[in-house]
Amino acid sequence: MPAETIATDRGTPALRTRLLVAVLGPLLAAAILIGVVGATLIADVVRRTNDRVLGGALGAIAETVQVERGEVTLDLPAAAFGMLENTERDNVYYRVAVGSDLLTGYADLPAPDPATLAIDVPRYRFARYRDQKIRIAEVRRSLPRIDKPVIVQIAETLDNRGALTRRLMLALLIGECVLVGAAALLLRPALGWSLRPLARLRGAVEARDERARPDFSPLDTGPLPSELRPLAGAFDRLLAQLDTATVGVRRFTADASHQMRTPLSVLKVQVALARRGSDAERREALDEIADAVVRLERLVTQLLALARAEEAGVSAPLEAVDLREVAAAVITRQIKHAIEAGIDLTLEGEGTAGPVVSGHRTLIFEILSNLVDNGIRYNRRGGTVSIMLEATEAATTVTIADDGPGIAPEHREMVFDRFVRLETPGSSEGSGLGLAIVRSAAARLDATVAFGDTPSGTAVIIRFVRPTG
Q: What is the pLDDT of residue 7?
A: 41
Report the percentage of the chain scoring pLDDT > 90.
Answer: 25
pLDDT digits (tens, 9 = 90+) for 95-129: 999 988 898 999 999 999 988 999 999 999 999 99
Q: What is the pLDDT of residue 292?
A: 67
**Does 75 or 311 have the greater pLDDT score?**
75
Helix (H) or strand (E) holding 41: helix 15-63
Closest CA to 237 of 223, 218, 222: 218
Q: What is the pLDDT of residue 350?
A: 58
Q: For residue 4, name the pLDDT band (cuts at 50, 70, 90).
A: very low
In angstroms, what CA-CA distances link 366 with 150, 261, 309, 384?
A: 109, 25, 9, 20
pLDDT digits (tens, 9 = 90+) for 156-197: 999 999 999 999 999 999 999 998 888 888 887 887 787 777
On whether the CB atoms of residues 354 and 325 are closer than 8 A, the answer is: yes
pLDDT digits (tens, 9 = 90+) for 360-379: 887 888 888 888 988 888 88
Average pLDDT, the chain: 80
pTM: 0.49
Q: What is the pLDDT of residue 395?
A: 87
Residue 256's Cβ-side half-sphere holds a number of Cα atoms within 13 Å equal to: 16
Closest CA to 120 of 137, 140, 136: 140
Pairing mode, strands 384-391 and 344-348 = parallel
Closest CA to 440 of 252, 254, 259: 252
Q: For residue 424, name the pLDDT band (cuts at 50, 70, 90).
A: low
On whether the CB atoms of residues 267 and 297 are closer than 8 A, the answer is: no
Cα dihedral sign for 284, 290, 291, 292? Answer: positive
pLDDT digits (tens, 9 = 90+) for 230-263: 777 787 788 877 777 777 667 666 656 655 665 6
